[in-house]
Structure 1
Amino acid sequence: MSLDTLTTPAALVDVNRMNRNIARMQQRLDALGVRFRPHVKTTKCEPIVRAQIAAGAQGITVSTLKEAEQFFEKGIGDIVYAVGMAPGKLQQALALRRRGCDLKIIVDNLRCAEAIAAFGREHHEAFEVWIELDVDGHRSGIAPEDDLLIAVGRALADGGMTLGGVLAHAGSSYEYDTHEALVRIAEQERAGTVRGAQRLRAAGLRCPVVSIGSTPTALCAEHLEGVTEVRAGVYVMFDLVMHNVGVCETSDIALSVLTTVIGHQEEKGWAIVDAGWMAMSRDRGTQRQKRDFGYGLVCNEAGDVLGDYLMSSANQEHGIVSRTGAPDKNIAGRFPVGTRLRILPNHACATGAQHPEYQALTEKGTLESWPRFYGW
């Protein structure tokens, strides 16, 4: 299959850009002297994860136990499930570990820590558990100075579980857009996570792993003293949110959606395309940033950005392409019916999730079909 025969809409991966992004992150973390454990929730795609491992990544991070099962079936066994463990999912986690998967689970409250310990004792399994820390008020986790941290650590250790380390995610880094601010939040993430590990050790509890990560902080941290590993995910594709944050150019974005012009509303300056929100997702993450890209930034079929044209609106299977500012009354001449365009996404994770497979555009200009994993 070639690009000009591909049915639209389709999720395209520019393999050259993807490999460049992988090399950039791996080289940076190698230079900082830490292990890199990529978060694979962005792509959920074996060939992409294989490329990350080939570049030097060690282990993976997942967002669902189904991802862990599917990647383990592909021979990848060093896995962190980086979502707080619900007690009702412990049987699923146990089954993975009994099959030989080196699965690590996380917790950020005493009730779940006690449930894990009780389940583990009942089934004679010493789960490896990491404690999630809150370093920026973004979402979940225990504050590094909170006494709850020690209580959770003791509940795990005294309950016969293996306290593997601490984990944090500076999700608030997505809210910034200057290098200085990102350096500051990266140091806040590092210092808070290292402090949590120090407090556990001072209390006589083991804490071998200190794991941090977000794409912006991984790319902007000035040093990572006390950190043992970094996790990041969206860097492999990048997207318009990351462009607005300031850690990539549009020319770094490796994921796009190929679409075809199917009609016009000339008086409105609209071109209608066959990719709606079912192809792009409903994610409007750039709406809260310094530049709103609507549902995506328009490129030609070769992937070159076409000035200020956006997918400004979307229905389920229809997208509206228009020019920012004054309407383009010559849009039918500019983009005749049958014109094929690429749309760069706001959020690569969300757009990828709309498609059962990626069409990988190789250096030779040929396409390979790369399936994605689904489910929970």
Structure 2
Amino acid sequence: MSFAETQLKNLQTPALVLDEAKMMRNIQRLAKQVDGLGVSLRPHLKTVKSTEISRRLLTDGSGPATVSTLIEAEVFAEAGVKDIIYAVGITPQKLDRVAAIRSKGCDLAVVLDSVAQAHAVADASARLGLAIPALIELDCDGHRSGVVPGDPVLLEIGRVLHDGASELRGVLTHAGESYEIQGRHGHEIFTEQERDAAVQSANALQDAGMPCPVVSVGSTPTAHSARKLDGVTEVRAGVYAFFDLVQAGIGVCDLDDIALSVLTTVLGHQHQKGWIIVDSGWMALSQDRGTANQRIDQGYGVVCDEAGQMIPDLIVIKANQEHGIIARRPGSEGKLPALPLGTRLRILPNHACAMAAQFTEYNVIPADHEADLCVWPRFGGW
């Protein structure tokens, strides 16, 4: 146990704990993978929401980066990130705020998938006297938003942006359905769907005489399984810095790669029911049940001891607002371990983004085993 891990005993619970060594191993793994494919990596900062972590994720701490809220764009731009894509469909009411961020020296681009949005961006660009760059979002797998490749509206949107006062920056897609597929082979199929949708659409724009300098793809599963990315310029991914039980369940990482956990304390027992009660409910763990439809349902999180070692077949089976109920996994055999009042435990997240969102700071176990436990601020909001 490192010196910092011994200091966990002094924390009030629930507390968010981050293992820096595991995080850095995860960051370096994907950086090496993407570099080997000859494209750039544009990490998504929505998971971490921390300037301390962004400096470790981004090249020279300055980008490129992806965000999902404008407050992320504002905070990271203030911290020196100069190249950001706001990867949620833009609305007209947000464009003045986008322009304000750009006016401070950050190249912030927006994403859209309709002619109406394109007109809004072009009109705002003309009104404000600056060219707001936009990427056209593509639907590569029916997961969510985006223009279906081959739909003539792609060129119509591109023409509005290119001929107006705005800037057509490129195309962007996200294989969100890859989260529903287990195993590298399945993820490779989605990787090729992403690539094909993006490259086909980029070629269509260019054949019509319009620019497409950015061809952006990415999800954590497809980024890790990509073998070739011909025609792509960049890859986006976010949860890989921490990983979680969903990613482990679909084979992208191992349980030992998960860098994030919630420190909790045993507050009571229901012996006749086989329950251990802890002081971390859904306000700490979140209500995410992302593993419910996977081969192994991890409940509301996998239970580890205070040092982060998994306790076999022990999960959080139920989460009330401030109470978590721990029990043996359904179908498992053996006795409930003796975990008396005051015992400290750590809970691994189903969804790292959702768990982290419950807290305002990370309690960081440094990679240097001789260093003190440290605190890195985390922000929220929109």
Same fold (TM over 0.5): yes
Does the Cα contact within 8 Å between 2:170 and 2:202 map onto a contact in 1?
yes
Does the Cα contact within 8 Å between 2:62 and 2:80 map onto a contact in 1?
no
SS in 2 for 1:335: coil
CA 1:330–1:136 in structure 2 vs 1: closer, same or farther (change >3 Å)?
Answer: closer
Aligned equivalents of 2:333, 2:77: Cα separation in 1:
51
Residue 358 of structure 2 corresponds to 354
SS in 1 for 2:188: helix
Residue 376 of structure 2 corresponds to 370
Does the Cα contact within 8 Å between 2:19 and 2:364 map onto a contact in 1?
yes
Structure 1: 4+ residue segments shifted above 6 A? none
Aligned equivalents of 2:255, 2:11: Cα separation in 1:
23
SS in 2 for 1:37: strand
Cα deviation, 1:38-72, whole Å, max 9, x if unaligned, reads: 00001101111111125898411000011000111
Cα RMSD (Å): 1.5
Residue 8 of structure 2 corresponds to 3
Whether 2:124 is the aligned partner of 1:115: answer: no
Aligned equivalents of 1:81, 1:103: Cα separation in 2:
7
- Deviation of the 1:366 alpha carbon: 2.7
Corresponding residue to 2:200 among 195, 207, 210: 195
| Bigger shift: residues 339-348 or 53-62 | 53-62
Aligned equivalents of 2:42, 2:245: Cα separation in 1:
23
SS in 1 for 2:237: coil
Residue 313 of structure 2 corresponds to 308
Does the Cα contact within 8 Å between 2:63 and 2:82 map onto a contact in 1?
no
Corresponding residue to 1:341 among 332, 345, 370: 345
**1:72-221 equivalences in 2 (<5 Å):** 72-221=77-226
CA 1:6–1:261 in structure 2 vs 1: closer, same or farther (change >3 Å)?
Answer: same
- Deviation of the 1:113 alpha carbon: 0.4
TM-score, normalised with respect to structure 2: 0.95
Residue 18 of structure 1 corresponds to 23
Report the identity percentage: 52
Aligned equivalents of 2:48, 2:293: Cα separation in 1:
24
Residue 276 of structure 2 corresponds to 271
Does the Cα contact within 8 Å between 1:267 and 1:329 map onto a contact in 2?
no
Q: What code does the residue aligned with 1:47 have?
A: E
SS in 1 for 2:36: helix
Aligned equivalents of 1:164, 1:179: Cα separation in 2:
31
Whether 2:33 is the aligned partner of 1:32: answer: no
SS in 2 for 1:3: helix
CA 1:212–1:327 in structure 2 vs 1: closer, same or farther (change >3 Å)?
Answer: closer
Aligned equivalents of 1:253, 1:338: Cα separation in 2:
25
Q: What is the aligned residue count?
A: 375
| Bigger shift: residues 51-60 or 77-86 | 51-60
Residue 57 of structure 2 corresponds to 52
Aligned equivalents of 1:20, 1:55: Cα separation in 2:
18
Q: What code does the residue aligned with 2:285 have?
A: M
- Deviation of the 1:97 alpha carbon: 1.1
Aligned equivalents of 1:251, 1:57: Cα separation in 2:
30
- Deviation of the 1:324 alpha carbon: 1.1
Residue 262 of structure 1 corresponds to 267
Residue 75 of structure 2 corresponds to 70
Does the Cα contact within 8 Å between 1:268 and 1:327 map onto a contact in 2?
no
Cα deviation, 1:203-237, whole Å, max 9, x if unaligned, reads: 00000110001000000011111110000000000
